[in-house]
Structure 1
Amino acid sequence: MSPFTELRSRTVVLRDRNIDTDRIIPARFLTTTGRTGLGRHAFNDWRVRADGSIDPSFAFNDPANDGARILVAGRNFGCGSSREHAAWALVDLGLRVVISAEIADIFRSNALKNGLFPVVLEEAVVDELLDHPGIELRVDVEQCRVTLPDSRSFAFPLDAFARTCLLEGVDQLGYLLRQSPAIDHYEASRQRLADTPALPQHEVRHAC
């Protein structure tokens, strides 16, 4: 993953609530273990009509939304089954941030592991964003704030570990691998302690 410190982008809006992971990426597309190529199937059953034609009214089929990297969605986004493919599909679609008044815990965890940043804001703020699709937002990971075009700024919660991983551009495994020198030093010190001969019993008693 690349470091994520700040993003400025227009928004694309899905007003629906309870958008579950099967809506994000239908189960029939989960046959791959690769992270690329899933974007073309994201929201497939919304984007494509039953007769196979493209639905021009769907937000991600609107050319005006091309290049938008921030999705603003209704409450309880990413609910349903645990499906890491959902995060993969959204990243492959070009998204980097999802904003909602509520984001399902498992989806949030999967998103953070895969370079997709889930941002939870107050419902009144999200409702305003839903009513104004296409506006440009500034998402600042370091300051944990979203700034609107009129300069109003809103804080969002982000735990320290997730913030560090985003700023450094690493997932959980990458973070651990970066601690290898400290881990090696600790293991070496443990080995030296294990190799130190024990004192004879009479010396132990004398020392006491």
Structure 2
Amino acid sequence: MSKPTEKLTSIAGLAAPLLIDNLDTDQIMPKQFLRTISKEGLDKGLLYDLRFDGDGQPRTDCILNQPGYEATRILIAGSNFGCGSSREHAVWGLQQFGIAAVIAPSYGEIFYGNALNNRLLPIMLEQAAIDALVAALAQASQPTLEIDLLTLTIRAPDGTLTPFTLAPRSRRMLVDGLDMVALTLQSLPQIEVFEQRHVAAQPWMRVL
């Protein structure tokens, strides 16, 4: 039986704006970092070509290389974040780097599902709301955000609250610490009733 994982009710920490539209999974986790059967070490490959030049030296214009942003917990991204191939390594790399949530106007559909299944929180906001968050972070001495999964709000450094939405099923999985299997098993009594009715109506479907 699947065991519950750690409950997640809030995420707080440094927020870094990386406002690049159509940042695909090939850029988030380049192919040369997919040669391992282990999930470990993917943080080194995260956004590699944005973070490093052709000689492997850190690019000073990349915000994740700037002082303090090594501890980034929340990434503010451009539209269609995580489009491209379905590689789950993109999600794992973000998490290993320390990022627990991404805020963007839209996402690649498969990336969005992979993120939720791995407990990386993908928040969708209108562009105007994202612009307001980025402006508030730029004016703050500590560019941090607080995400509350119980109230579904984001608190900016100036105290402003921005609401967001999340599917009830996805929110429950995160808050209650359930994976897809554990969530399904909570409906086991209803599943068994359905199975009994189904077999009664169609006895040839019974599994012996």
TM-score, L = length of structure 2: 0.82
Residues 14 and 130 of structure 1 are in contact (CA less than 8 Å); yes or no, is this contact kept in structure 2? no
Matches of 2:178 and 2:172, distance apart in 1? 8
**Number of aligned residue pairs:** 191
1:44 corresponds to: 48
- Correspondences of 1:166-185 after superposition (within 5 Å): 166-179=174-187, 182=189
Matches of 2:36 and 2:133, distance apart in 1? 34
Q: CA deviation at 1:13?
A: 1.5
Matches of 1:151 and 1:7, distance apart in 2? 15
Matches of 2:175 and 2:37, distance apart in 1? 26
Post-superposition Cα deviations, 1:38-61, rounded to whole Å, max 9, x if no partner, equal: 111100111121122222321222
Q: Cα RMSD (Å) of the superposition?
A: 2.3
- Correspondences of 1:30-179 after superposition (within 5 Å): 30-131=34-135, 132-133=137-138, 135-179=143-187
Runs ≥4 residues deviating over 6 A: none
Q: CA deviation at 1:169?
A: 1.6
Q: 1:184 to 1:74 in 2, by over 3 A?
A: closer
Matches of 2:66 and 2:6, distance apart in 1? 28
Q: CA deviation at 1:176?
A: 2.5
What is the SS of the residue equivalent to 2:71?
coil
**What amino acid sits opposite 1:143 in the alignment?**
T
Q: 1:31 to 1:176 in 2, by over 3 A?
A: farther
Post-superposition Cα deviations, 1:47-84, rounded to whole Å, max 9, x if no partner, equal: 12112222232122223113220000112111111111
Instruction: Determine what percentage of the aligned residue pairs are the same residue.
Output: 34
Q: CA deviation at 1:129?
A: 2.9
TM-score, L = length of structure 1: 0.82
Matches of 2:11 and 2:37, distance apart in 1? 28
- Any gaps of 5 or more consecutive residues in structure 1? 195-208
Q: CA deviation at 1:183?
A: 6.9
Q: CA deviation at 1:21?
A: 0.6
Q: 1:124 to 1:178 in 2, by over 3 A?
A: same
Matches of 1:92 and 1:139, distance apart in 2? 19
**Which range is displaced more, 84-93 or 7-16?**
7-16
What is the SS of the residue equivalent to 1:23?
helix
Matches of 1:177 and 1:28, distance apart in 2? 38
Q: 1:35 to 1:173 in 2, by over 3 A?
A: farther
Choose 1 or 2 for highest CA Rg. Answer: 1
**What amino acid sits opposite 1:4 in the alignment?**
L
Q: CA deviation at 1:113?
A: 0.5
